[in-house]
Structure 1
Amino acid sequence: MIPLDRKDYITLRSNVENREEKETKIIQKLEPFINGKVGMYVPIKGEVNCFDEFKRYKQLYLPIVEDEQTMNFYKFKGKLYRGKFNTYEPSNKIKIEPLDLDVILVPMVGFYKMYRMGYGKGYYDRYLKQTKAIKIGVAFDCQKMDSMTIKKSDVAMDLIITESKTIWKQD
């Protein structure tokens, strides 16, 4: 059997059946963690959409990729615009320091054990190394991988939430 690659997992994620029902289950599991200053993402390419549910939360921060190496989170105040990578970004520039975030919801292309596959540029891993926030990977069950090469630069999630499971780091 040929292992799936990044593109295959993006396709699987984009074609999830009963998406609304599965996202509702994921959101219900996320709700107890939406406390303090929360880093979140606006979904692209079929990522789990928890943004629509939590966008009214007062202490919400969204990522902006600033250059080839740097991503930071900025306060969301209700307005978004299309950024340079065709992603939605907050319209203001009130930056939060990595150590000031309490929770970060992290999108995934796929996951293996407590590690995520992203888009391959390392933005989240570099940022996550700078924070003590609870790192919550958000994915659908179909994104679970049978194996993955874990690099030294990869950062483990504290928990991963899918529609059917909450996987804790110590599990």
Structure 2
Amino acid sequence: MKNQQRKCALAKRNALSITERKVFNQIISKKLIPYLENINAIYLPYGSEVDITAVMENSKQSFAIPKTYPNHRMRFFAYEPAMPLEKSRFGVWEPIAGKEITEFDVMVVPLVAFDEECHRLGHGQGFYDRYIKDFQGCVIGVGYECQKLEHIICEEHDQSLDMVISETSVYIKH
């Protein structure tokens, strides 16, 4: 069932035009800015994911980006505009090396689908679920409204988000 939800949400996201995504990315980025704090974990977009990289370029705050490892773990490294990146085995741009950041205030995560209760459906590898489980800060998901489902099927290991920001709404976990 999760795979069906994933497939449906990805099809909707991929159906958005490049122009729609650009407009929605700008709206989502503007909505995200007030929630950012001193040090923020953020991601580099893959495929048709929400692109919020403009937030990093136009901010005085610090950012860290993830690097994945074979044991389904992630570490975060300080983002520098000219830092060397490489594609991971999943096709995602990641830092080659850098200064590891182990503490941050806010984590912004990509998602495949979400619901109004701030449940998140990712690509199914569990990297973010494992990290979020022990994270003490605010976790914000960003996605397009077309990715919202009525109800995300959750399993014991799935971690919910504190909020989800789309181009039309901000959903806050109750």
Query: What TM-score, normalized by structure 1, do the two folds share?
Result: 0.89
Equivalent AA in structure 2 for residue 101 of structure 1: F
Give per-residue Cα distances to partners, 1:117-165, cap 9 Å, x unaligned: 0001111000001211210010000000122211111111111100010
Q: Is the 8 Å Cα contact of residues 29 and 54 (structure 2) preserved in structure 1?
A: no
Equivalent AA in structure 2 for residue 132 of structure 1: Q
Q: 2:91 aligns with which of 86, 89, 102?
A: 86
Cα distance in 1, alignment partners of residues 172 and 122 from structure 2: 19
Cα distance in 2, alignment partners of residues 15 and 111 from structure 1: 17
Give the equivalent residue in structure 2 for 1:159.
163
Cα distance in 1, alignment partners of residues 4 and 140 from structure 2: 23
Q: Within 5 Å, give how 1:18-57 maps onto structure 2.
A: 18-55=20-57, 57=59
Secondary structure of the 1:104 match is strand
Q: Is the 8 Å Cα contact of residues 134 and 158 (structure 1) preserved in structure 2?
A: yes
Residue 141 of structure 2 is aligned to residue 137 of structure 1: yes
Give the equivalent residue in structure 2 for 1:66.
69
Cα distance in 2, alignment partners of residues 15 and 50 from structure 1: 19
Cα distance in 2, alignment partners of residues 148 and 81 from structure 1: 32
Give the equivalent residue in structure 2 for 1:101.
104
Cα distance in 1, alignment partners of residues 67 and 40 from structure 2: 15
Give per-residue Cα distances to partners, 1:70-128, cap 9 Å, x unaligned: 1111111122222333211123332122xx11001110100122110000111100000
Give the equivalent residue in structure 2 for 1:128.
132
Mind listing any 5+ residue stretches in structure 2 that lack a counterpart?
none
Q: 1:168 aligns with which of 155, 167, 172?
A: 172
Q: Is the 8 Å Cα contact of residues 163 and 173 (structure 2) preserved in structure 1?
A: yes
Equivalent AA in structure 1 for residue 42 of structure 2: M
Give the equivalent residue in structure 1 for 2:121.
117
Bigger Cα displacement from structure 2, 25-34 vs 86-95: 86-95
Give the equivalent residue in structure 1 for 2:5.
5
Q: CA RMSD in A?
A: 1.8
Secondary structure of the 2:28 match is helix
Percent identical residues: 28
Tell me by how many angstroms 1:68 deviates. Answer: 2.9
